[in-house]
């Protein structure tokens, strides 16, 4: 399906500026599709979706090829210029129409109640203001609409959670594009007024040693009708 347009809707073009991280992520993430089983996770994340979908923090567009044909349109918001350009290229290869646009999760450049579903994968760890980003997701979803999420966060025992918090206060956010390890995305969704479920805990990678970024949740949350 052709990419229809890349539009600047009056939001700052570089709400997020992490060019070095963006280049590293673009390389690493493609390998992780097979090496870490991310392609399978993306397939599960998006299975059964239909109608109009907004994907927030689309990165280099690795979800795009996994949208089922029942999705009639994806609006993919990506604030980082390098990743957004790669997302535009990925959109050209997608089998559903994908419209890539600049913007930030905290101020989505779209109308209220315009989407049947919203997708966030590995994004809530990086946004500056999680409650505001989730309030925006609620705003743009129609009543009864769903959020599909795949997010990492706090997990493991005391040593691991201590390590996650220590890394969050020091090296991790500047090295990884503003990512945080000890956030609690499921609790944040609940606090934002979404109804949870179903969702499950996933280790990523599934096998091998647990990393501070391994503790993931994959599932669905609903905007109450
Ligand atoms: C780890 S990457 C994940 C990319 C993609 N969702 C995926 O599954 O591969 C984190 C993404 O969140 C984006 N991001 C960071 N801050 C954001 C914000 N405030 N609003 C929207 N996206 C943001 C980054 O630019 C990046 O594309």
- Residue closest via CA to ligand 1's atom 26 equals 59
- Residue closest via CA to ligand 1's atom 1 equals 122
Task: Sketch out the chain's domains with CATH numbers.
Answer: 19-222 (3.40.50.150)
Res 1 pLDDT > 50: no
Mutate to test the pocket of ligand 1, among 30, 41, 59, 172 (most ligand atoms within 8 A of CB): 59
Res 10 pLDDT > 80: no
Q: What's the mean pLDDT in 172-196?
A: 97
Q: What is the pLDDT of residues 108-155, one digit of tens each?
A: 999 999 999 999 999 999 999 999 999 999 999 999 999 999 999 999
Average pLDDT, the chain: 93
* pTM of this prediction exceeds 0.85: yes
To 10 degrees, what angle do helices 19-35 and 81-93 make? 40
Res 3 pLDDT > 90: no
């Amino acid at each position: 399906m052709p990419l229809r347009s890349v539009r600047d809707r009056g939001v700052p073009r570089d709400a997020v500026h992490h060019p070095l991280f963006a280049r590293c992520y673009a390389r690493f993430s493609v390998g992780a599709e097979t090496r870490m089983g991310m392609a399978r996770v993306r397939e599960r994340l998006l299975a059964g979706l239909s109608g109009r979908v907004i994907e927030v923090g689309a990165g280099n567009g690795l979800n795009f090829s996994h949208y089922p044909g029942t999705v009639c349109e994806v609006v993919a918001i990506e604030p980082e210029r390098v990743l957004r350009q790669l997302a535009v290229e990925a959109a050209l290869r997608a089998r559903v129409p994908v419209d890539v646009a600049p913007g930030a999760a905290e101020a989505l450049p779209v109308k209220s109640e315009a989407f049947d579903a919203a997708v966030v994968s590995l994004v809530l760890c990086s946004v500056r203001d999680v409650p505001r980003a989730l309030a925006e997701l609620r705003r743009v979803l129609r009543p009864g609409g769903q959020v599909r999420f795949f997010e990492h966060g706090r997990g493991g025992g005391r040593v691991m959670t201590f390590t996650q918090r220590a890394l969050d206060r020091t090296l991790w956010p500047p090295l990884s594009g503003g990512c945080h390890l000890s956030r609690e995305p499921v609790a944040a969704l609940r606090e934002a007024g979404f109804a949870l479920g179903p969702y499950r805990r996933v280790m990523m990678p599934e096998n091998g040693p647990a990393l501070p970024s391994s503790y993931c949740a994959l599932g669905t949350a609903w905007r109450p009708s």
